[in-house]
Amino acid sequence: MEVYERETQEVIERFRRHKLSFPDCIAVLDAALADLIPRLTGEQIARLRIVMLANNEIVVKEMERRGPATVTEIPK
């Protein structure tokens, strides 16, 4: 779980520094989640939910900050 948290924080920082596009950011976050889920214990699920919601909030706020010009980056 700690590795997932570190990895996703690094991905989000790359996104915030414009080193990673929105679609790529989401793809990497999804891949990290897919890698983690099979190894989770029942007690880690609550922590995962907290981390995922926090990550989502950061990405959404960054997209809002960037404004409507970047909306075209959102995958369909």
What is the extent of the structural domain holding 58? Answer: 2-66
Distance CA 54, CA 49 (A): 9
Token pair of 55 as six digits:
């990550």
The structure's pTM equals 0.80
Q: Which pLDDT does position 69 carry in this prediction?
A: 59
Distance CA 7, CA 14 (A): 11
Q: Is residue 72 part of a domain?
A: no
Closest among 3, 16, 12, 5 to 49, alpha carbons compared: 5
Residues 16-63 have pLDDT tens digits of: 999 999 999 999 999 999 999 999 998 899 999 999 999 999 999 999
Distance CA 58, CA 76 (A): 21
- Number of structural domains (the chain) is 1
Distance CA 37, CA 32 (A): 9
Q: Is residue 73 part of a domain?
A: no
Distance CA 74, CA 15 (A): 13
Q: Is residue 71 part of a domain?
A: no
